[in-house]
Structure 1
Amino acid sequence: MKSAAITPVSFREKVCYGLGDTSANIFMGMTMMFLSIYYTDVFKLSPAAMGTLFLITRLIDAISDPIIGSLSDRTRSRLGRYRPWLLWFAIPYGLSCAAVFFSPELGETGRTLYAYITYIILVLSFSLVVVPYVSLLGAISADSGERIQINAIRFPLAKVSYLICSLLVPALIALFDNDVVGYRVVMCGIGILSTVLVLICYFNTTERVLPDNSDALSLKQQVKYVFKNDQAMIVFAAQTVVMVMNTLKFGAAAYFVKYVLSMPTSFLSLLLTAGSIAGILAPLLTGYFLKKGWVKRIPLLVGSQIVGGMITLAIGLTPVSAIWFHALLFVLATLAVELIAVIIWATVADVADYGFHRFGVRINGMIGGGMLFATKAGMAIGGAIIGYVLAWFGYNPDTMSSASENQLSAFMLLYAWLPAVCMFMAAALFSRYKLDEKACQTFIQDSEHSTSGVGYEKAAH
């Protein structure tokens, strides 16, 4: 790693970098909050076909994300190493966001093919933007502490996208008499917004940390070094579980509100909006607590998931008649688990630093690709679980005016019990993570006095 004449990162640049994540999380928010119920209730895709779709896309990601990460690591341009990818693929990403929800009038086979083709294109376009975007953080600053503070601004902006999804999207779609037309028009606007935000990020960020000669590594060698990086593997596993939890909780919320609580769509919008606000506040609190030294990174990673799991278990034990208490528990659980967002995405650069100091190679793009694969794998597994559980319990929105007791238990399983289990699993994984503040500071000091980059494994133990 070369860090010539590193200049401080301005507040403006931090905000513009964060807007890139606002765009990325539009994909996350729409997928977790609405894609399942859109596919089953609006586009009339069978639950089993939906579940299989989510799994197939992950097989594609298993190949595409590492390749994109490797290619971005090898990119050499006057525009930078990772930033050019934002410029090249911003428009395809926005168009694919709109295409998924376009809802053409097709037969059952045509609908299935359309869903598969458009969603796979969206996932690939998303990877081509977001794998380099995640890697860009390590090129903006070499300071782990500064990266935490960048994320303290980035993640409230990222969660604004969830606010857009939960508050504006249902309200705008409700303005149309036909849900198909509503999704078509609103999602075209969302696609344009996604493109604009990515371009703002591109034009207002700078790559300060210059690349070393690790581009000489083959893809096979880069993959080998990723698997040798034990801290990266822990982070990837934890992120997968976290995203399974989020997808289950937010994806099942629509079914839970409609059938278990018997509340209208307006209540769902209110619930998701409150959860989105909690997601905006959580990173601000984390950044403040860490800056004041009131809490350390690893205890916060573990503790937040345990607290969130306990609250989510309480949801499953709360009578369905206590509607507003259910809403309160949902918000509190979201606030607790979202406290980790600032830290876990900063670990992408931290574990890349760890790999550099342990093995002498810097593969930020490959690490970023692994993190994005873990993120989308978690979303896919969560989405598949929703689809297969609904299919197993005979869910069909066209033939059921109300849910059976058996189906109600399925919605509770998806909304409360399984997410709680995931939170406890994430806490167990985070407890094995070793790159605390002291280790990361050691990496910074060593990089300032050594160019060899090897032999610093002790810093993480």
Structure 2
Amino acid sequence: MDLKENQAQANAKLPTLEKISYSFTDMAGNLLYVSMSSYILYFYTDVFDIPVSAAGMIILIACIVDAISAIFWGSIVDHTHTKWGQSRPYFLWLAIPFALSTFLAFTAPNLHGVVKLLYAGITYVLAAGVIYTGIQTTISAILPNLTLNPTERIGANSYRMVGSLIGSFITSTFTFPLVAFFGHGNDKQGFMIVIAIFGVAAICLLITAFKNMRERVPVSQKSLPFKLSLKATVGNAPWYLLVISFATFWIAQADRNSFSTYYAKYNLGNAELAAVFNGLQVLGIISSISVPFIVKITNKTATMLIGLAIGAIGQAMMAFVGGNFILVIIAWSVGVLGSALAMAMPFAMLADTVDFGEWKSGIRASGFLTAVGSAFCIQLGSGFGSFIPSKILNVAGFVANKTQTHQASSAISFCFIWLPVIIYGIVACIMIFYRKYEKMEPQIKADLMARAEKRN
């Protein structure tokens, strides 16, 4: 294949089937990962009978370990060269281990003391970290290798986010009702059965994605040493901005997801209302579908800032509607639309930082840069998103399955409503500086094409 054919293929328009299959990757990931991020703290405290402070520490330690593993996963991807590509084979290789490890994490054997804590920590690290981090890394790393066309990347990422939200919707809406249905009052049994069902579905989705996707952008057939992967970060200012902002953003996301259960159960008086909160995450599909249109009218940076502003407004509205559940739901829905819009952008923007890194250093480290920019940020942010609120609850005197004091109820409200608002403001301040680098993207793409012509 000559240079022009390679360039045409690298800039090709992606088939709809491939975009749909790409959506299956995050749909599968969220069927299981959202189960962990939304319910594992509740599972530990109210089902597995682990103290809230210990549970929060387990999640934080595990997520820090998992975040570090993302760095190694990125290097592993950059060392991978198969007939199927760099990232695509991992959808096949990790599907069954992912489902099995998540099942074990939601299994509550009759253990006590340190042994129980070790079991919880090891299974969480294995499921939410080592294996899921590998899947999340390859989901993000494959995007810059699907096409060089920025419009197609935005479109493919929008499909991905729709799949992600569908997976979240299924998990968030049906987990508690299904746990009650299959458990017949035994939540331990109910969680095991439900996670097993989600696991089988995730395996099927990941294998389908593996079958239908293709990596078109040529990459070096030589393994990329870790020190060269690090070199791709040198001077990569837009990547730094995304890593810092996305890790911070995920503190808010993890906090919102995990504390919806506590807010519903202890402040609104009905734990099953958490399924309504989490189920409404599906409204984020509207935001995901609208991303290409908003970006076309404005730009990627502005789109993320708009999402953060809407998310903050929705969160703040919940503080002023009292116990009126209808008004709480309206406010929450506004927040969902904003957070989904903001969350979609870094995944697409990471592909552009891979181009920036190659333009700056001559090294295309798609695995490493996207691993740190996505899986690392999600794991680190999620860890602190559970740890910080758990410490706040512990100081406020929270006791699981008891009527809460005014101080504990106020702490739950703060964590669920105001902590995300504060974090969204911090992220917005960071992302303002990204626009400078977004304006450089057309020239960067032209320079990379010119370099490819010279090499050939």
TM-score by length of 1: 0.92
State how far apart, in whole Å, the 2-side matches of 1:59 and 1:224 are.
23
Shift of 1:439: 2.8
> Counterparts of 1:20 and 1:356 in 2: how far apart (Å)?
26
Aligned-residue offset at 1:343: 2.2
Query: Alpha carbons of 1:452 and 1:407: their partners in 2 closer, same or farther (altered >3 Å)?
Result: farther
> Of 328, 331, 352, which residue of structure 2 is paired with 1:329?
331
- State which of 7, 10, 17 in structure 2 corresponds to 1:12: 17
Is the 1:356–1:453 contact (alpha carbons within 8 Å) kept by the matching residues of 2?
Answer: no
Look up the match of 2:254. 247
Matches within 5 A, 1:134-283: 134-175=140-181, 176-177=183-184, 178-212=186-220, 215-216=223-224, 218-262=225-269, 264-274=270-280, 276-283=281-288
Looking at structure 2, the residues matched to 337 and 260 of structure 1 have their Cα atoms a distance apart, in angstroms, of: 23
- The residue type equivalent to 1:252 in the other structure is F
Aligned-pair CA distance for 1:31: 2.6
- Of 70, 73, 82, 2:75 maps to 70
Q: In the alignment, what sits opposite 2:441?
A: 440
One of 318, 331, 337 as aligned partner of 2:321: 318
Unmatched 5+ residue regions in structure 2?
none
Instruction: Letter of the 1:329 partner, please give it.
Output: A
| Equivalent residues in 2 for 1:334-349, closer than 5 Å | 334-349=336-351
Which deviations, in whole Å up to 9, do the C-alpha atoms of 1:396-447 show, x marking residues without a partner? Answer: 224x2x2111001110111011110011111111111136665333333322
**SS of equivalent residue, structure 2 residue 123:** helix
Deviation at 1:201, TM superposition (A): 1.1
Cross-structure match for 1:112: 117
Partner of 1:299: 302
Which amino acid in structure 1 is aligned with residue 213 of structure 2?
Answer: T
The residue number in structure 2 matching 1:373 is: 376
Q: Distance in 2 between matches of 1:11 and 1:139?
A: 17
Q: Is the 8 A contact 2:246 2:377 kept in 1?
A: yes
Q: CA deviation at 1:213?
A: 6.3
Conserved? CA contact 2:313–2:334, under 8 Å? no
Q: Number of aligned pairs?
A: 445
Equivalent residue runs for 1:389-400 within 5 Å: 389-398=392-401, 400=402
- Conservation of the 8 A alpha-carbon contact between 1:98 and 1:188: yes
Matched, 1:58 2:63: yes
Within 1, Cα distance between the matches of 2:386 and 2:282?
23
Partner residue of 1:457? none
Cα distance in 1 for partners of 2:122, 2:260 equals 27
Cα distance per residue 1:189-225 (max 9 Å; x no partner)? 1112222211111111001001036734x31332243
Distance in structure 2 (CA, Å) of the matches to 1:224 and 1:445: 22
The answer for the alignment partner of 1:132 in structure 2 is 138
Whether the 8 Å CA contact 2:265–2:272 is kept in 1: the answer is: no
User: Residue 98 of structure 1: SS of its match in structure 2?
Assistant: helix
The 3 A distance-change label for structure 1 pair 356 and 224 is closer
Residue number in structure 1 paired with 2:352: 350
- In structure 1, C-alpha distance between the alignment counterparts of 2:166 and 2:41, rounded to whole Å: 21
For residues 329 and 213 of structure 1, do their structure 2 counterparts lie closer, same or farther at Cα, with a shift above 3 Å needed? same
SS of the aligned residue for 1:451 comes to: helix
Q: In the alignment, residue 194 of structure 2 is paired with which amino acid?
A: V
Equivalent residue number for residue 458 of structure 1: none
- SS in structure 1 at match of 2:435: coil
Cα RMSD, aligned residues only: 2.0
Residues 58, 272 of structure 1: CA spacing in aligned structure 2 closer, same or farther, 3 A cutoff? closer
1:359 paired residue number: 361
Equivalent residue letter for 1:207: E
CA contact (8 A) 2:231 2:361 kept: no
Contact 2:67 2:377 in 1 (8 A): no
| CA drift at 1:234 | 0.5
Residue number in structure 1 paired with 2:53: 48
Q: Are the aligned partners of 1:4 and 1:208 in contact in 2 as well (CA < 8 Å)?
A: no
Partner residue, 1:385 = 388
Match of 2:85 in 1: 80
Q: Distance in 1 between matches of 2:66 and 2:131?
A: 11
Give the aligned residue type for 1:223: L
Identity between Structure 1 and Structure 2 (%): 22
Instruction: Flag structure 1 segments of 5+ consecutive residues without an equivalent.
Output: 455-461
Quick one: distance in 2 between partners of 1:149 and 1:214? 30
Deviates more, 1:127-136 or 1:139-148: 127-136
How far off is 1:227 after superposition?
A: 5.0
Q: State the 1:228 CA deviation.
A: 3.2
Asked if 1 retains the 8 angstrom alpha-carbon contact of 2:235 and 2:360, the reply is no
- Partners of 2:166 and 2:187 in 1: CA distance: 24
1:338–1:435 distance in 2 versus 1, CA, 3 Å: farther
2:425 maps to 424
The residue matched to 1:348 in structure 2 has which SS? helix
| Aligned partner of residue 13 in structure 2, secondary structure | coil
Question: C-alpha displacement at 1:5, in angstroms?
Answer: 4.4
Which portions of structure 1, spanning 4 or more consecutive aligned residues, are displaced by more than 4 angstroms?
2-5, 435-438
Does the aligned pair in 1 maintain the 2:262–2:271 contact within 8 Å? no
Distance 2:260 2:218 in 1: 44
Shift of 1:450: 1.9
CA distance in 2, matches of 1:14, 1:419: 31
2: CA distance between counterparts of 1:429 and 1:171? 40
CA distance in structure 2 between the partners assigned to 1:397 and 1:298 by the alignment: 41
Shift of 1:294: 2.6
Q: Residue type of the partner of 1:226?
A: T
Q: Distance in 1 between matches of 2:102 and 2:66?
A: 17
